[in-house]
Homo-oligomer: A and B are copies of this chain.
Amino acid sequence: MPRLKVDIGQVFHALGDPTRRAIVQKVSEGPISVSRLAEPLSITLAAVVQHLQVLEESGLIRTEKLGRVRTCRIEPAGLSAAERWIRDRRSEWERKLDRLGDLLAEP
């Protein structure tokens, strides 16, 4: 069982590209092969493979080759890490807001 490390910087960088978001979108709907992923995208298969490398290194997806077909799946830890980073920032901001509210309510 291969343990993947998740680098939050790589995750956000990976999600910054529209093609890669489209890929994540599709893969999140279920496991899918490289060429089926490439089908609706108007770029070469080679380019799709490069995007997949970025996504896999970031920890957002996992891929496995069986015969001549490489199948891509979501690696939930990647999305979770990004979600957590954002939530942490947002709750810190809300905490500060609350304390400001307290100050205004006090004499």
Contact = CB atoms under 8 A, between A and B. Distances in A.
A18 B28 contact: no
What is the total number of copies of this protein in its complex?
2
A83 B79 contact: no
30 contacts: A8-B21, A9-B17, A9-B21, A12-B13, A12-B16, A12-B21, A13-B13, A13-B16, A14-B16, A16-B16, A24-B89, A25-B89, A28-B89, A28-B90, A28-B92, A28-B96, A29-B93, A30-B96, A74-B93, A76-B90, A79-B86, A79-B89, A79-B90, A79-B93, A80-B90, A82-B82, A82-B86, A83-B83, A83-B90, A86-B86
Contacts of A72: none
